[in-house]
Structure 1
Amino acid sequence: MLSSSALIIVIIYLIAMLGIGWYTNKFLIKNSADYMLAGRALPAIMVAASLSANNIGGGSSVGVASKAFGAWGLSAGWYVLAAAIGIIPMAFFAPRLRRVLAYTIPEVVGRRFGPGSHLITAILNMVSLFCLTSSQILASGTIIFALTGIPIKIAIFIAGLMTIVYTVMGGLWADAFTDLFQWIIIFFGLLISLPFIINGAGGWETVVSKVPPAKMSLTGVGVATIISLIIQYFITFMSGPEMVSRIYAARDERQGTIATLLSALFMGLYAFIPAVIGIVALSAFPKANPNSALATAVFNLAPGWVAGIVCAAIIASTMSSADSDMLCASTIFSKDIYQKYINPNVTDRALIIMTRISNVIIGLLAMVIALFEINIITLNIFAFMLRAAGPFSAFTLGLIWQKASRTAGLISILAGSTFGIYWQILKEPHGILAIVAGTVVGMLAFILTTWIERALGGREAPPIFPKR
C-alpha cells in the first residue's frame, strides 16, 4: 500500500476525469454527432493523443512489463514499437477515411456490400470491443488493488464505474479531452519514474548484472514475432472502430493524416519504457507475480509522489482504452443496429439517450467478464483477431478498390472470420498469428470473388464516397 500523497494524486486524477465528463456534457454536446464524433472538429494533436492513448492500454503498460519480466525480456518493447510502425500506413488511408463521412466501420462496409456484410461486421465489432473494454477495466482494477490493498473485485468495480460515468456524460468530446490529458500523464508519468526506479534497484549496472543476458536482447522475442506484430497492428488499426473513429472525428483530411504520423512518433518514444520497468522488477524482485511486475517495481522503488503519478498514468492508460472501446461499441449498437434495423425514425435526442444506455450496459457486462481475471494480452489478441480477420478486407479494399464486386465483402468476412477462429483454436501453428492467417484468407476470398464475378458479368459494389 502506498503513501497518502500517492493516494491523493490518484484521487485528484479521477476527480479530474469526472470533471471533464461534466464539462463536455454541459457545454459541448448539442447533438448525436457531437456525442459520437466530437462534431468532426478535432485538431491533429487531439486525434494523435487519442490514437496513442487508445492503443497504450493495459496490454501496452502492465502487460508489457509482465512480458519483460517473463519470457520476452527487454524485447517486450516491440509490443508497442510494432504498433508505432504499424500505424504509419494508416496515414495513406486517413484522407479516404475522413472523406467517407461515416460514423462506424459497419456503416462503410454496408454501403458497399449490403445489409448482410453490414450486420455481421457490426456484431463482430461489438463483441471485440466488449472484450477489449473488459481487459482494460481489469487492468485498471489491478492497479487500484495494488495501490490500496482493497479486494480485487471491488477494485474492478470502482475502475469500471468511473469509466462508465465520464464516458456516459461526455461521449467522444470527453473521450478526446481525457485522452489528451491521459496521454501526457501516461508518457511523462512513466518516463519520470524510470530514474527513480533504476536508482532504487541499485543502478542500471546492478540491474543488468542480476538478469540473464538473454533478457537484455532487443530481438529476443524473435524477428518473426516482431514482423507478425507489425502486420497485426496495421490490420487491427485499419479495422479497429476506436482507431478509425478518431480519423472520422478529425477536423479535415489533412488533420487526420498529420495525426496518424504524430501518433506513430508518440508510441515509438514510449515503447520500451514499461519493458525497462519490467526488467528492473525482475532484477529486484525475481519472485514477484509477473502480472504485478510494474506495480511492484514502482511501489517499492520510487518515492510516494512518483508512485502516485505512475498509478495515475497506468489507470489513465487503461481508462483511455476502456472508454473508447465502450463508446464505439455503444455507437455501433445505436447507429448500426437500433437506428438501422429497429427504429429508423429515432430522433437525434433519443439516439443520444440510447447510446448512453448502451454505454452503461456494455460497461457493466464488461466488469462481470473482468472478474474472471483472464490474461490481458491473451484477451486483447483474441479481440483483435475477431474484429479484423474478416472485416479488414471488406473495409480496407472496399475503400480503395472501386470495381470490387457486390458479394466480395460478405464472402471475405465469412471466410476470414471462420479461418481466424479456426486458427486460434489450433493455437496458431507455425507461430502465425490468427489475425494474420484469417486476414490473408479474407483478402484472397475478396480478390477471387471479385475476379470471378467480373468474369461472369456480376454487379459491382456501389460507390462508397458521398457526392460532394
Structure 2
Amino acid sequence: MQTTHVVILVVYIALMIAIGIWFSRSKAVSDGDDFVLAGRSLPAPVLTGTLLATFVGSGSIIGGANFVYSHGPLAGFVFFGGTFLGIICLYFLATKVRRMSHYTIPQLLEARFGKRVRVLGTVIVLVAYIGITAYQFTGAGYIFSLITPLSPVQGTIVAALLITFLAMGGGLKSVAWTDFFSAFVVAIALIASVFFVFINDVGGWGSYVNQLDPALRSITGGLTSIQMLGFFLPLFLLILGDQNMHQRLAAAKSERAARTATIGFFFGAILIIGPIILLASASSFLQPDVTADMAVISLGANGYTPAGIGGMLLAGAFALIITTGSSYLLSCSGNIVHDLVFQFKHVKVDKRRALVLGRWSVLGVAVLAYVMVQFFPSVLALQMYAYTMYGVSITPVVLAALFWKRATPAGAISGMIAGGLMTVIWQLSSMSEEINAVVVSLPVALVALIGVSLVTKNPKADTEAEPAPTVSTSA
C-alpha cells in the first residue's frame, strides 16, 4: 500500500461524491426525465465521455485484460474488435435513436410489437444488466484491495455503496459528468503507463516481442476459430443494442451531437483499449503469477510505474468501473419504473413519482447484483454470460423493430425466449467451459425470430416504428 495511491484515490472519490451531491439538488434533477435522460441536454463532448466510460469499464480493464493476459495481444484485438464494429454500426443508428428518444429499449419494442414483448424484454434486460452491474462491484473491490488494507470482499461492499449513491443521487446528469472526467483521466493514465512500462520494465518493442510467450503470438492465442467467435460476438451484440448506448444517444442535445459523440466514442476507445492490450500482454511476462483479472491494475500497484502515474491508473480505472456500474443501475431503474410499475393501470403516472421510484429501484437492483456476483469465478466469466444474455435475446429484436417490417410480435417473443433459454442451458452445462454460449444461442434466436415471423401475421407490417407516448407531466 502506497500513501500516494491512497491519497489520489481518496481525492478522486471525494470529487465523484461532490459531483453526485451537486447533481442531486432538486434544481438539477427535478423529475424522472432529468433522472433517466438528463433532460435531453448532453452536449457532444460530455456524451462522448459517458458513452466511452459506460462501455469501457470493468469488462475492459479487468475482463478484457484477463483475456489478453491469457491469450495474447493479437487475440486481444479480435476480442475487442466487436466493440469497434459495434460503434461503427451505432453511428448509423444515432440519428434515429435520438429522434425516437425512448426511455428504455422495451418501450421501443412495445411501439412496434406490443405490451407482451415489452414486458418480456424488460425481464431479460434486467437479468443481463444486474449481471453487468455485479462485475463492476467485483472490479472496484479488486482495486480497493490493492490500494487499501481492505479485502476484495470488503472492497466490493464499499464499491457497491458508492456506485449506488451516485446512481440514486443525480441520475444520468451526475453519471454523465463523472464519466466525462473519468474517461479523460484514465486515457492519460493508461497512455503514460504504457510509456513507463515499455521503457523502464520491458526494454522497448523488440524486447517486448522477444519476451512474449510464443503461444501468445498467434491471432487466436491457442483458441479455435469458434472459441474466438464466442468472445467477439458478445461485445458486438451488446454495444449495438445496449440500452445504455441508446439512452445516452436519446439524451443528446441534438441529433448532430449524437452522431458527433459516436465518432468521439470510436477514437476514444482506441486510446483506452490499445494501452489495455499492450499492458495486459506485457504483464503476462512481467507478472507471470498474478491473477489474470489483475493483469493491468496490478502494474499500477506493484511499482511498475511512478507512484503518481500508478495512482492515476488505479483511480482512473476505479472511476471507470464506478461510473459504469452507476450507469447500469440507473438503466435498470428506468426499466422497473417505465416498463413495469407504470404499466399497472392503477398507478398514477407522473415525473415526480418516476424520480422517487427510480431511486428506490436503484437500491433494490444493487442488492440483487451483489448477490449474483457470488456465483461466478471471474469478471470475464460473468461478463460473457451477461453480454450474451442481452446480445442474443434483445439486440436481434431491436434491429428487427427498427429495420425489418416483416418481423411480428410472435417472432420477437420466440426469438427472445429461444435465445435466453439457450444461453441459460449452455451456461449451466459443462460445454460453456469450452465454447461461449453465444455461438449456439445466437443462431437459435435468429432462426426463431425469422422463422416464426415468416409464418405469422404482423398487425403493423405496413407501418413504421413510432415513438411510444412520453410520460405525462400531470401532477
After superposition, what is the alpha-carbon deviation per residue over 1:157-190, rounded to whole angstroms, capped at 9, x for unaligned? 1111111112211100111111111111221111
Query: Shift in Å at residue 20 of structure 1?
Result: 1.0
Verify the 8 A CA contact 2:82 2:236 in the aligned structure 1.
no
Comparing 138-147 and 399-408, the one that deviates more: 399-408
Residue 326 of structure 2 aligns to which amino acid in structure 1?
Answer: D
After superposition, what is the alpha-carbon deviation per residue over 1:429-456, rounded to whole angstroms, capped at 9, x for unaligned? 89764335433333333333332234xx
What is the rounded CA distance, in whole Å, between the counterparts of 1:428 and 1:188 in structure 2? Answer: 40
2:291 aligned residue (289, 292, 302): 289
Please state whether the residue corresponding to 1:87 is helix, strand or coil.
helix
Verify the 8 A CA contact 1:74 1:276 in the aligned structure 2.
no
How many equivalent residue pairs?
Answer: 464
Correspondence for 1:324: 327
What is the rounded CA distance, in whole Å, between the counterparts of 1:352 and 1:188 in structure 2? Answer: 35
Verify the 8 A CA contact 1:453 1:459 in the aligned structure 2.
no
Residue 69 of structure 2 aligns to which amino acid in structure 1?
Answer: F
Verify the 8 A CA contact 2:44 2:257 in the aligned structure 1.
yes
Correspondence for 1:130: 130
What is the rounded CA distance, in whole Å, between the counterparts of 1:141 and 1:162 in structure 2? Answer: 11
Query: Shift in Å at residue 373 of structure 1?
Result: 6.1
After superposition, what is the alpha-carbon deviation per residue over 1:409-435, rounded to whole angstroms, capped at 9, x for unaligned? 222222232233334445668976433
Comparing 106-115 and 306-315, the one that deviates more: 106-115
What is the rounded CA distance, in whole Å, between the counterparts of 1:429 and 1:137 in structure 2? Answer: 24
Comparing 419-428 and 390-399, the one that deviates more: 419-428
What is the rounded CA distance, in whole Å, between the counterparts of 2:300 and 2:373 in structure 1? Answer: 24
Verify the 8 A CA contact 1:44 1:250 in the aligned structure 2.
yes
Correspondence for 2:300: 298
Query: Shift in Å at residue 352 of structure 1?
Result: 0.5
Query: Shift in Å at residue 374 of structure 1?
Result: 3.0
Correspondence for 2:473: none
The answer for unaligned runs of 5 or more in structure 1 is none
Correspondence for 1:60: 60
Correspondence for 1:359: 362
What is the rounded CA distance, in whole Å, between the counterparts of 2:212 and 2:249 in structure 1? Answer: 42
Query: Shift in Å at residue 401 of structure 1?
Result: 2.2
Correspondence for 1:173: 173
Query: Shift in Å at residue 105 of structure 1?
Result: 0.5
Correspondence for 2:448: 445
What is the rounded CA distance, in whole Å, between the counterparts of 1:361 and 1:232 in structure 2? Answer: 27
Correspondence for 2:93: 93
Shift of the 405–372 alpha-carbon distance from structure 1 to 2, 3 Å rule, reads: closer
What is the rounded CA distance, in whole Å, between the counterparts of 1:116 and 1:63 in structure 2? Answer: 34
Query: Shift in Å at residue 99 of structure 1?
Result: 1.9
Residue 6 of structure 2 aligns to which amino acid in structure 1?
Answer: L
Correspondence for 2:187: 187
Correspondence for 2:349: 346
What is the rounded CA distance, in whole Å, between the counterparts of 1:396 and 1:135 in structure 2? Answer: 27
Structure 1 residues 18-167: aligned runs within 5 Å: 18-26=17-25, 27-73=27-73, 75-167=75-167
Correspondence for 1:271: 273
Query: Shift in Å at residue 379 of structure 1?
Result: 0.5
- TM-score (norm: length of structure 2): 0.90
Query: Shift in Å at residue 40 of structure 1?
Result: 1.3
Correspondence for 1:261: 263
After superposition, what is the alpha-carbon deviation per residue over 1:260-311, rounded to whole angstroms, capped at 9, x for unaligned? 2321222123223122222332222222222222233222211211111011
Query: Shift in Å at residue 102 of structure 1?
Result: 1.1
Query: Shift in Å at residue 24 of structure 1?
Result: 1.5
What is the rounded CA distance, in whole Å, between the counterparts of 2:413 and 2:468 in structure 1? Answer: 25
What is the rounded CA distance, in whole Å, between the counterparts of 2:148 and 2:74 in structure 1? Answer: 29
What is the rounded CA distance, in whole Å, between the counterparts of 2:314 and 2:255 in structure 1? Answer: 36
Correspondence for 1:370: 373
Verify the 8 A CA contact 1:236 1:388 in the aligned structure 2.
yes
Shift of the 345–24 alpha-carbon distance from structure 1 to 2, 3 Å rule, reads: same
Residue 253 of structure 1 aligns to which amino acid in structure 2?
Answer: E
Residue 37 of structure 2 aligns to which amino acid in structure 1?
Answer: L
What is the rounded CA distance, in whole Å, between the counterparts of 2:218 and 2:272 in structure 1? Answer: 18
Query: Shift in Å at residue 109 of structure 1?
Result: 0.9
What is the rounded CA distance, in whole Å, between the counterparts of 2:378 and 2:425 in structure 1? Answer: 20
Comparing 29-38 and 107-116, the one that deviates more: 107-116
Correspondence for 1:251: 253
Residue 214 of structure 1 aligns to which amino acid in structure 2?
Answer: A
- TM-score (norm: length of structure 1): 0.91
Verify the 8 A CA contact 1:62 1:274 in the aligned structure 2.
no
Please state whether the residue corresponding to 2:24 is helix, strand or coil.
helix
Verify the 8 A CA contact 1:201 1:280 in the aligned structure 2.
no
The answer for unaligned runs of 5 or more in structure 2 is 470-475
Verify the 8 A CA contact 1:210 1:283 in the aligned structure 2.
yes
What is the rounded CA distance, in whole Å, between the counterparts of 1:17 and 1:395 in structure 2? Answer: 34
Residue 11 of structure 1 aligns to which amino acid in structure 2?
Answer: V
Query: Shift in Å at residue 114 of structure 1?
Result: 1.8
After superposition, what is the alpha-carbon deviation per residue over 1:102-140, rounded to whole angstroms, capped at 9, x for unaligned? 100011112221222111110110111111101011001
Correspondence for 1:337: 340
Query: Shift in Å at residue 467 of structure 1?
Result: 9.5
Verify the 8 A CA contact 1:83 1:229 in the aligned structure 2.
no
What is the rounded CA distance, in whole Å, between the counterparts of 1:467 and 1:335 in structure 2? Answer: 11
Query: Shift in Å at residue 61 of structure 1?
Result: 0.7
Shift of the 451–290 alpha-carbon distance from structure 1 to 2, 3 Å rule, reads: closer
Query: Shift in Å at residue 8 of structure 1?
Result: 1.0
Q: CA RMSD in A?
A: 2.5
Query: Shift in Å at residue 66 of structure 1?
Result: 2.5
Query: Shift in Å at residue 29 of structure 1?
Result: 1.0
Matched, 1:11 2:14: no
What is the rounded CA distance, in whole Å, between the counterparts of 1:172 and 1:242 in structure 2? Answer: 10
Shift of the 144–434 alpha-carbon distance from structure 1 to 2, 3 Å rule, reads: same
